[in-house]
Structure 1
Amino acid sequence: MDVPVAELIIDGSVNKAQVATGNVISQKTYFARLGHATYNLIPNMIRELLAHFIHPNILHKTIPTRDLRYFNLADTQKINEIRDTGYRGLDLTLMYRLIKMYVPSIQTSGAWGNLDNIQGHNVSLGDDIERCRIIRNSITHRSNTTVSYQELNDYFSVFKDVARRFEKVLGKEPNAFVSQFEVLEKCSMDEDI
């Protein structure tokens, strides 16, 4: 169900171009876009990064048996299945932990888990992984689904910047990741996409 234009204009979340074209998009649609980016696009990029640094077939050799006690039972089961399934069953939180603990070549500008790492000038690979984690947490732990047009643009600007840097690290064609965010930013958000 579409939100009436008048309601959207009252809360200030509609830009003038949307009103002029009649293409008014609800704030919940913006939240759906962020959700898709958070639960699909960002984890897929991190999966490729993790596989680039630790092939799924050798992860079990990388993690000392004594370290498995630091993971909960569900995560331990996922780790044990990686040799057969690859990284596709891992969520962003577990991949973040694996990178932080077992890929010493990836470091942040400060310490892992430090919010200061997401300053605009900190753009190391570790900073961008940290940035993804922090953004994912800020989106998934929101107290509401209200996302303004400006907020959506701000998030997607960061997503595309990070995607460009990941493309370079992975030796991908330009816009391989970025184009996915560009499509998501503008596409129809019905069930068929």
Structure 2
Amino acid sequence: MTGARTDIEAVEAANTALYDAIEQGDLDALTERWLTDDISVVHPGWPVINGRDEVLRSYALIMANTEYIQFFLTDVEVSVLGDTALVTCTENILSGGPSEADGSTGPLVGGLVVATNVFRRAEDGDWRVWSHHGSPVLIDRDDEDDADASDDDTASADDGVADGSDDTIG
């Protein structure tokens, strides 16, 4: 196994461990996944959060207010350059609120977030998160394809917005 392949697999494992910690509501495990200095996070719809204490506090808040969450990661791409790695993926999220009065699971809601996770190799050789940025997906790919097909007469590739709307993603 080559060094590059080993790094990619290690980054994939670190990325999986990040999401596992969130799913399990394990703040200690989540804390171990992050670097100890100059980190940042952008949760969907939130402003940028900088600094270890503030980033971990944001996750504690999310965990305390989320009864259930599960991530199904798709479109995962990993790139490693030296001691830095970039992971892009789609977070297919299933989450739920508080349990019903009878103790049954509360209503579940699904959502899509595109995420960029930047990792750095720590002094101990483990890959840790340096930055996470999540952005909600506001349109369906099928809708985008339909809009592209219907706008062929009026939009050119140079327009920058294929469907003529002001919605931007990314």
Task: Assess same fold via TM > 0.5.
Answer: no
Q: TM-score, normalised by structure 1?
A: 0.24
Per residue, is there more strand in 1 or in 2? 2
Relative CO higher for 1 or 2, CA cutoff 8 Å, sep ≥ 6?
Answer: 1
Per residue, is there more helix in 1 or in 2? 1
Q: TM-score, normalised by structure 2?
A: 0.26
